[in-house]
Amino acid sequence: MVKLTFTEKMVQSSKAIRMKVGCTGTKYHVKWIDDFYKSTIRKISVFSWVAIGMFINSCTNIEPPDPVGPLPSANQLNWHQMEYYAFVHFNMNTFTDMEWGTGGEPPDTFNPTQLDTRQWTRIVKEAGMKGIILTAKHHDGFCLWPTETTDHSVKSSKWKNGNGDVVKELAEACNEFGLKMGLYLSPWDRNHPDYGRPEYVDVFHQQLRELLSNYGDVFEVWFDGANGGSGYYGGANEVRKIDNKTYYQWDKVHEIVNELQPGAVIFGDGGPGVRWVGNEEGWANETNWSLIRKAEVYPGWPKYVELRSGHEDGTHWVPAEADVSIRPGWYYHPREDHQVKTLPHLLDIYYKSIGRNASLLLNLPVDHRGLIHERDEEQLIKLKDQLREDFKDDLALGQKINTSNIRGNHRKFKADNLIDANPETYWATDDTISAASITVTFNEPHKFNRILLQEYIALGQRVQKFSIEAMVGGKWMVIDDQTTIGYKRILRFNEVNAEAVKVNINKSKGPVALSGLSIYRALPLLVEPTITRNKNGKVTLAVPDSSIQIYYSLNNNLPGIQDELYGQPLLIDRPVALMAIAYDPEADKWSEVSSRNFDVSKRRWKVIEVSSGDIEKAEAAIDDDPNTHWSTGQNETLPQYIIVDLGETLQLSGVSYIPNQDRWTHGIITDYSFRVSKNGNDWMTVVKGEFSNIANSRTEKTANFKPISGRFIRFEASKTHGDDRRASIGEISIISSR
């Protein structure tokens, strides 16, 4: 056998190499290679031949993986990229202080004094959102545009003397700020006299045509699942029921949307474009398929909890949208100004929606001025700033990435596609490979606690099981074990310091196709400590991250590193002012200060008499937890009272009341009297009066009086807010002089 040199081997294999060239312009490339061989082959190094091989390989036609299961439409792919956008509930309910209007409200009730849709869009843009969906008509039937279908609209209101159009103003503002607009149109109409009859369906379709014809592009059309029930209905004031599967002629509705807004997706329990996530709390299950068995799902579907996960064997691509309000209610209520969701809560919502293959539709209840409230804006910006820090530096960039398999060993499907920030490129495996791994090796150990993964969903959702491993001290350890990925999956876990990270795709419906992999280290969340005390006087200070230190003071001085470091719950059984602050020792940063004034604890307190209701349940009024409450009986007459034995004689100088904090509140006490007794028999009224504006500001209210000695207290409700005759107490406390 004749032994050939390297260059001779390459010349001899020229024909074989040329046969692999399969891209457009094959003849040109073959001629170029032949000429190249003849003129320069003896001058080429081994490394150059590697480069030539890569070039030839790039011209080879390697087919992508076959699609798996239902696929997203172009509209749905565009919708997935929206990820985070705003819901704006602003309508008649804003001015009636309701969540669901009756339909009988006079149009003049709608009268914002400072309506500014540019303020909405500015805030939404600054918050990092990509669009706004507006409640153009809610269940009460009032229309925010001058529709030709009814007089129950802005054209009959005082606002701008009937010449206003909220939808138009928002469309113009969205265009100015580069946001997309969506529209919510309630199928249910509690105002229209023909609701429940065929005539109303024509009205509903006409309203939809008006909205989709006159205001530019719409990215999403939102239909609520609440349909049929009691209403004003033109003065009939009755209950009307419909078959929400058939009454609205959904096929025709979908035709109208597709005709007038071909780029829009349609939201509903079963889509067809986007589905409800199955709760109004803003989270999807950890397992979340973008698929559902669509034939089973309809408006008002009783198995709605399944929408939190979708169906692995779904017949249609209908991804989940997680809707939630930044406050307890969907519409603005002044009484909820102190209940705007905290930064830790909003972060949790983000990671459990967008981080679990859903989009996040965060509601902003525009107030009666026509503005997004300052407290809502503040929390939105805090969330934006924190997310920017969480995803500031992608640790996967610049690192060595290896995969267990590359489709056809072709650069088109190379591992580097995972970190090129291009959603159109992806890493894929051979047809026979449905389990594979990606390894990111750091040039030195890195700390991290977040991993972001994305599938190339244009070819379907495939991954059924995957796990994450970290190499620590030369040994692999599992740090997470999950199921679905989808468009985007973000994992949070305890921080690890590792030399490498491995993503194992353990089970897939077909060849793996991933388009994104990022690794982050989110710094500890630094927020002011929460302060709580239980009935026994144990005070707990808490922050979301265990690596954050808490310092506190009990001497009316701002706490610092020279003060007490919190470790275990504190026993506070006497009047004292506590201040607490959180400290991040790694970043050398301090939080804002939180504080609370404590009085004597309630460990000796006992309810000994109530005017009505369950006396054992009345303990909720004195458990030092304002989120629990006690209510009197349903059909009682005022006044209603509660009597408490303090367990010891104290010098009293005031009383405080926290009303019921539930979203659907009742029994808020507006007028009261407070009595004190030494023996439980002889009572003295020490103060009585009104808690001003308490229905709109459900925070702690205090009434002071001249110091008096007593062991028993009687708090009496002489008047409550609204028509509900019950009286309720979130918490009752005393101010002592001891």
User: pLDDT of 471-527, one tens digit each?
Assistant: 999 999 999 999 999 999 999 999 999 999 999 999 999 999 999 999 999 999 999
Nearest to 404, CA basis, from 375, 428, 383: 428
pLDDT greater at residue 349 or residue 563: 349
What 3-state class would DSSP assign to 469? strand
Report, as an integer, the average pLDDT of 391-408: 96
**Least confident stretch, 1-5, 49-53, 166-170, 612-616:** 1-5
Q: Can you give the pLDDT at residue 669?
A: 94
**Least confident stretch, 13-17, 347-351, 636-640, 657-661:** 13-17
Q: Can you give the pLDDT at residue 672?
A: 96
Q: Can you give the pLDDT at residue 450?
A: 98
Radius of gyration of the chain (CA): 32
Given pLDDT bands bounded at 50, 70 and 90, which one contains residue 60? low
Q: Is 133 exposed, middle or buried, given 0-12, 13-18 or 19+ CB atoms closer than 10 A?
A: buried
- Sequence-distant (≥ 6) Cβ neighbours of residue 318 within 8 angstroms: 270, 271, 272, 273, 274, 275, 290, 291, 292, 294, 297, 310
- Sequence-distant (≥ 6) Cβ neighbours of residue 458 within 8 angstroms: 71, 72, 77
Q: Can you give the pLDDT at residue 692?
A: 87
Report, as an integer, the average pLDDT of 392-421: 95
Given pLDDT bands bounded at 50, 70 and 90, which one contains residue 633? confident
Q: Can you give the pLDDT at residue 191?
A: 97
Residue type at 553 in one-letter notation: S
Q: Is the confidence at residue 560, as pLDDT, over 70?
A: yes
Q: Can you give the pLDDT at residue 183?
A: 98
Given pLDDT bands bounded at 50, 70 and 90, which one contains residue 15? very low
Report, as an integer, the average pLDDT of 260-281: 96
Q: Can you give the pLDDT at residue 43?
A: 44
List strand residue ranges (DSSP E) for 509-635, in order: 513-520, 530-533, 538-542, 549-553, 564-565, 570-571, 576-584, 589-590, 594-598, 606-610, 630-631
Q: Is the confidence at residue 256, as pLDDT, over 70?
A: yes
Q: Can you give the pLDDT at residue 28?
A: 33
Q: Can you give the pLDDT at residue 283?
A: 97
Q: Can you give the pLDDT at residue 35?
A: 46
Report, as an integer, the average pLDDT of 20-47: 40
Q: Is the confidence at residue 612, as pLDDT, over 90?
A: no
Q: Is the confidence at residue 17, as pLDDT, over 60?
A: no
Q: Is the confidence at residue 634, as pLDDT, over 70?
A: yes
Q: What angle do the packed helices 343-353 and 374-390 form, to 10 degrees?
A: 60
Task: Convert the pLDDT of each residue in 682-719 to its tens digit.
Answer: 999 999 999 988 988 899 999 999 999 999 999 999 99
Does pTM top 0.85 for this prediction? Answer: yes
Q: Is the confidence at residue 2, as pLDDT, over 80?
A: no
The whole-chain average pLDDT of the chain stands at 91
Given pLDDT bands bounded at 50, 70 and 90, which one contains residue 345? very high
531 C-beta neighbours (distance < 10 Å), count = 19
Structural domains in the chain, CATH included, are 6-59 (no CATH), 74-390 (3.20.20.80), 400-520 (2.60.120.260), 530-598 (2.60.40), 606-736 (2.60.120.260)
Nearest to 213, CA basis, from 177, 256, 175: 256
Q: Give phi and psi for 352, each to the nearest 5.
A: -95, 0
| Separation between Cα atoms, residue 18 and residue 11, nearest integer Å | 11
Q: What is the DSSP letter of 458?
A: G
Q: Give phi and psi for 308, each to the nearest 5.
A: -70, -25
Report, as an integer, the average pLDDT of 431-453: 96
Task: Please check whether residue 313 is in contact with residue 260, taking contact to mean a CB–CB distance below 8 angstroms.
Answer: no
Report, as an integer, the average pLDDT of 360-381: 98
**Least confident stretch, 160-164, 458-462, 627-631, 692-696:** 692-696
| Separation between Cα atoms, residue 376 and residue 378, nearest integer Å | 5
Task: Please check whether residue 297 is in contact with residue 311, taking contact to mean a CB–CB distance below 8 angstroms.
Answer: no
Angle ∠(670,673,675) on CA atoms, nearest 5: 150
For residue 8 the two structure tokens come to: 């001779």
Q: Can you give the pLDDT at residue 59?
A: 54
Give how far Cα 417 sits from Cα of 421, 439, 453, 499, 558, Å: 8, 14, 12, 22, 52
pLDDT greater at residue 369 or residue 39: 369
Q: Is the confidence at residue 443, as pLDDT, over 80?
A: yes
Given pLDDT bands bounded at 50, 70 and 90, which one contains residue 241? very high
Report, as an integer, the average pLDDT of 636-645: 90
Given pLDDT bands bounded at 50, 70 and 90, which one contains residue 374? very high
Q: What is the DSSP letter of 143?
A: B
Count of positions (residues) in the chain: 738
| Separation between Cα atoms, residue 189 and residue 517, nearest integer Å | 47
Given pLDDT bands bounded at 50, 70 and 90, which one contains residue 57? low
Q: Can you give the pLDDT at residue 540?
A: 97
Give how far Cα 543 sits from Cα of 492, 546, 586, Å: 17, 7, 16
